[in-house]
Amino acid sequence: MQPRHSLIDFILKEWLLIVSGVGVVLTSIYSGHLPAYSLQELEILFILFALFVVVQGLRKSGLITKYSRRIEQGKHLPLKLVVTTFFLSMLVTNDVVLLVTVPITLSLNIERKDILVILQALAANAGSALTPFGNPQNLYIYWFYDLSPVRFISSIAPFSGVFLLLLVIFSLIIETKRESQPSAQAARVEKSAYIYGVLFFVVLLTVLRLLPVPAPLLVFLYTLIFDRKALRVDYTLLVSFFFFFGFAENIRFLLAADIQHSGHVFLFSVLASQVMSNVPVALLFAKFTLHWQPLLWGTNAGGFGSLFGSLANLIAYKLYINHGDTRDSAMFTAKFLLIGYAAFFVSIGLYFAIQKLS
């Protein structure tokens, strides 16, 4: 019985990898066409890989944990947890920041942890939307459409700014009773944190096109020689991206048409994200349209709502459900969807309001 349960667990955990792989195979068979990968797409995968390795190194060094523990001290704990998640997600991606901050929330002896985890998921999605390297779909859109940092950030800034304001308001409203003081034990930071900090800066400069694409090779050179454990990243996610590149190329080959209206691009991408997740939607729709701004808004707004809208949602959800002290998963699921879809519809209204004013 154990192998059967292991297979079920693998399917539930790696559904994105399975769906993307099956999608490539089926569309290739149907079209009689093997996907062609561009140099640009391979460069994106390379940079993502380097980013994963650097963040893993920073996590191992204890630097992120030490920074996160500081927010446990003092007053306004909900505000500090949510705002820290928001701003950290701009640099270390929405998925990674939740892997760090949600366990801290769950370890605290406070009330209403379920609401705080949900707000952290929203904060990670909203904050990561602001930078080209905050989440995978942003990195792809930024690189695919050859955008400048100023143009990219100015386009999505109203989205992140409005949700930061809303998150701050709700964080101040929430009352959490702390039943014990946070641990005073200091997190140990290894010397490698400084090296990974420099390497992280190298990767960011590469994303911003201030350094050539081969520059992140320094990341792999260092880890292969001094810290091979940092190479233990989520390879299934990288392979999933590779499959979705191929799937999107096959769909483009089958349809060979553009989506002309920018409003359609936004609506199609925001709705498709609820089922497919926003990363593959960005990979798919970029093949069809030159309207990068509605695609950027659509995929980031699509991260709200369903559990499948963003991998960050699944991470926050699974961390809460699997935690030993949490209970009543059905109620948590209902709250997650209710609050998530409230943010989803606010983001849609915000997009069309801005379009009407511009």
Confidence of residue 216 (pLDDT cuts 50, 70, 90): very high
Is the Cβ–Cβ distance between 290 and 321 less than 8 Å?
no
Across 102-125, average pLDDT: 86
pLDDT 10s digits, 126-158: 999 999 988 989 988 998 899 999 999 999 999
Hey, what amino acid is at 316?
Answer: A
pLDDT (0 to 100) of residue 13: 66
pLDDT (0 to 100) of residue 68: 61
Residue 38's closest CA among 257, 278, 255, 249? Answer: 249
Tokens of 7: 């297979």
Mean of per-residue pLDDT scores for the chain: 84
Is the Cβ–Cβ distance between 202 and 211 less than 8 Å?
yes
> Above 70 in pLDDT, residue 4?
no
Lowest-pLDDT range, 69-73, 144-148, 250-254? 69-73
- Expressed in percent and rounded to 5, the helix, strand and coil fractions of the chain are 75, 0, 25
- 188 DSSP 8-state letter: P
334 vs 241, higher pLDDT: 334
> Above 70 in pLDDT, residue 263?
no
Is the Cβ–Cβ distance between 60 and 190 less than 8 Å?
yes
Is the Cβ–Cβ distance between 65 and 187 less than 8 Å?
yes
Of 32-46, 56-70, 125-139, 183-197, which one has max mean pLDDT? 125-139
pLDDT 10s digits, 265-309: 888 889 888 877 888 888 888 877 888 999 999 999 999 998 878
6 vs 232, higher pLDDT: 232
| Cα torsion angle, 280, 264, 127, 170, sign | negative
> Above 70 in pLDDT, residue 33?
yes
> Above 70 in pLDDT, residue 186?
no
13 vs 256, higher pLDDT: 13
**pTM for this structure?**
0.75
pLDDT (0 to 100) of residue 71: 65
Separation between Cα atoms, residue 296 and residue 315, nearest integer Å: 22
pLDDT (0 to 100) of residue 1: 47
Across 91-111, average pLDDT: 79
Is the Cβ–Cβ distance between 193 and 62 less than 8 Å?
yes
Tokens of 353: 């309001």
Confidence of residue 233 (pLDDT cuts 50, 70, 90): confident
Which residues on neighbouring strands pair with residue 110, listed in sequence order? Answer: 178
Separation between Cα atoms, residue 341 and residue 338, nearest integer Å: 5
Separation between Cα atoms, residue 268 and residue 301, nearest integer Å: 12
Lowest-pLDDT range, 129-143, 223-237, 305-319? 305-319
Across 248-266, average pLDDT: 69
